[in-house]
Amino acid sequence: MVKVLIADDTQFMRTNLRIVFERHGIQVVGEADSGSKVVKMYEMLNPDIVTMDITMPNIDGIEATKLIMQMDPNAKIVVVSALGQEVFVREAILAGAKNFIVKPFQEDKVIDVIEKVLGI
């Protein structure tokens, strides 16, 4: 079973992603509401993939992506960002993120991107 770690500072977005993943047989192993938490949780939980919001407290999603990639160069991170954040998405991709999902997202697009990144 695929294990995902969700990082987003809003409960609403984490819940929406959790529902999408669980509906498709993807196990949510953790939820983080800040960049610093997602980095710590990544190390503890070793998920197959991370969904990473860009704007979060403490450490933003771009910095968190860099830190995770330093820990694990094979980490699979998908950025989840709002429309209009293209500059930040580009930065996150340069930092090591493998793909991105635009908010508000459609369920099938989320699953397509996850499957593409994981090669399933």
**CATH number, domain with residue 38:** 3.40.50.2300
What is the per-residue pLDDT for 84?
A: 72
Give the pLDDT score at 89.
85
3-state helix, strand, coil in the chain (%, to 5): 50, 20, 30
Please compute the mean of the pLDDT values over residues 73-96 and round it to a whole number. Answer: 89
Q: Put the strands of the sheet holding 77-82 in their side by side order.
A: 27-32, 3-7, 49-53, 77-82, 99-103
Question: How does the average pLDDT of the chain come out, rounded?
Answer: 95
Both tokens of 101, joined, read 């999902």
pLDDT tens digits for 6-59? 999 999 999 999 999 999 999 999 999 999 999 999 999 999 999 999 999 889
Domain of residue 103 covers 3-118
Determine the pLDDT at residue 71.
96
pLDDT tens across 45-68, in order?
999 999 999 999 889 999 999 999
Residue 88 has pLDDT above 90, yes or no: no
Domains of the chain: total: 1
